[in-house]
A and B are shown apart, each in its own frame.
Chain A
Amino acid sequence: MDDRSWMYRDSPQGLWRMDYCNGVQGFINFATSIPINFTGGGIRCPCRKCQNKSISIQML
């Protein structure tokens, strides 16, 4: 597995760090590449607030 330390480095408030943005893009590429993720109508949002509970279509 690749390095995931970018996920929890200092919180990205205010500044959007470059590695964090790239990491999120990588995550979305990964999630959209797996068709089973779309069975609920969209991709679940793993952010601090949604906690994978809500389906967030506007992620794309």
Chain B
Amino acid sequence: MMHLLHKGFMENYQYWYAHGEVYVSERRMEETVVRSTSSASNMYEAANDNTNPYRNMVMDAMRMNQGNVSQCPIVEEEPNIDAARFFDLLKDYDEPLWDGCTNHSKLLVVAQVFTIKSDHGLSEAGYDKIIEWARSMLHEENRLKENFYVVKSMMKPLGLGYQKIDMCPNFCMLYYLENAKMTECMTCGHSRYKPRISGGKTLVAYKKLRYFSITPRLQWLFMSPRTAEHMTWHQAHHAVDGVMVHPSDGEAWKRFNNVHPHFSVESRNVHLGLCKEGFNLFGSFAAPYSCWPVILIVYNLPPGMCMRPEFLSLSTVIPGLSSPGQNIDVCLRPLIDELAQLWSSRALTYDILRKQNFLMRAALMWTINDFPAYGMLSG
């Protein structure tokens, strides 16, 4: 008692977790609620009653843009570029495939064929052939897009793109942020670009890292009514003693929540897992080529969802020939930067379920890998 009176309590000990106090999960932080009441948002909600999944897809994409816009103090403005792109998409959605067609629109058909392509691993040439064949069956004045390239640029405004970052072929450095303009590796001196072919105009880099930004993907989970309700499952469910159905029933998770009460009071904060593994793309008998995908797992979702392929989010693809070895930290830098930002400065996110904006944080709980990969990751 004398200690306490003289020295005061240790920091962040509002919850007396080491003294048998059960953590109360119903507590909410002072909610930083920004109700969006712009007339536009009502329109989206009205339009969202329509149960067509493809229309919802466009609506989700728009909410994405709107979430970013509402950070600015002035909301009622002329449509910005994003909004203009959105209205173009909506127009595509409403435009029939040919005049008089009632059940297919321009965007709907493209999105459906796109889904078939990705579900069955159809090649780009295969896609073009099928479209060519479908067009020959259709009316002369149809609006079906002719090839994959055009379709891709049409789908681009829906968001969730990726970033290509040039890197040194020996995994020494990324040409990223402060080094974006360099043309030679500063460690090994290897040139960034391949020698120009005579007459060629564009510079081609030896190796490119593909980085899929994680923040918009997490925001998307909250902006879509079909996933937003599941994002707080980890705190809402009741654990049965002795049975572990989800990592949130485990000791590590509870300990993390106790140590970081500021993080855990907001049940919408995202718990992530990271997993990475080398893949030989061309089978074990072909020329050895190992490509290293890095995948993030969102543990907020219920056990039936968090391990489904559609909710595992690919974060980085490290191209190969060989594995990056000890230099994998170089390749993970964009991801690490973004995770650090999500932990410290948070991201304003629109929650469709509660119809409010909140500041989302994310924490990387653990990594999953085999032992060789573990050796690389820990350096």
Classify chain B: how many residues form its interface, as a range: 20 to 34
Is B19 touching A31 in the complex (CB atoms < 8 A)? yes
Residue numbers in A under 8 Å from B1 (CB-CB)? 24, 28, 58-60
Number of A-B contacts (CB under 8 A): 74
Is B16 touching A47 in the complex (CB atoms < 8 A)? no
Is B3 touching A59 in the complex (CB atoms < 8 A)? yes
Interface residue from A1, A7, A46, A59 paired with B18 (Cβ < 8 Å): A46
Which residue of A13, A16, A27, A34 has the most chain B CB atoms within 10 A of its CB atom? A27
Q: With A24-B4, A56-B3, A58-B2 known to touch, is A7 a contact of B19 (CB < 8 Å)?
A: no
- In the complex formed, the residue of B with least CB distance to A49 is B7
Residue numbers in A under 8 Å from B11 (CB-CB)? 48
Binds A, one of B20-28, B45-53, B192-200, B340-348: B20-28
Task: Tell me, in angstroms, the Cα distance from A10 to B32 when the chains sit together.
Answer: 26
Residue numbers in B under 8 Å from A59 (CB-CB)? 1, 3-4
Task: Tell me, in angstroms, the Cα distance from A37 to B17 when the chains sit together.
Answer: 11
Query: Measured between C-beta atoms, what is the minimum distance from B35 to chain A in Å?
Result: 27
- In the complex formed, the residue of B with least CB distance to A51 is B10
Is A47 touching B9 in the complex (CB atoms < 8 A)? yes
- Which residues 89-148 of B have a CB within 8 angstroms of A? none
Interface residue from A4, A21, A36, A47 paired with B3 (Cβ < 8 Å): A47
Task: Tell me, in angstroms, the Cα distance from A46 to B1 when the chains sit together.
Answer: 10
Interface residue from B3, B16, B24 paired with A45 (Cβ < 8 Å): B3
Task: Tell me, in angstroms, the Cα distance from A8 to B5 when the chains sit together.
Answer: 12
Is B7 touching A7 in the complex (CB atoms < 8 A)? no
Residue numbers in B under 8 Å from A12 (CB-CB)? 5-6, 8
Task: Tell me, in angstroms, the Cα distance from A1 to B15 when the chains sit together.
Answer: 9
Task: Tell me, in angstroms, the Cα distance from A14 to B14 when the chains sit together.
Answer: 23
Is A47 touching B7 in the complex (CB atoms < 8 A)? yes
Residues of A within 8 A of B (CB): 1, 4, 7-8, 11-13, 16, 20-21, 24, 27-28, 30-31, 34, 36-37, 43-52, 56, 58-60
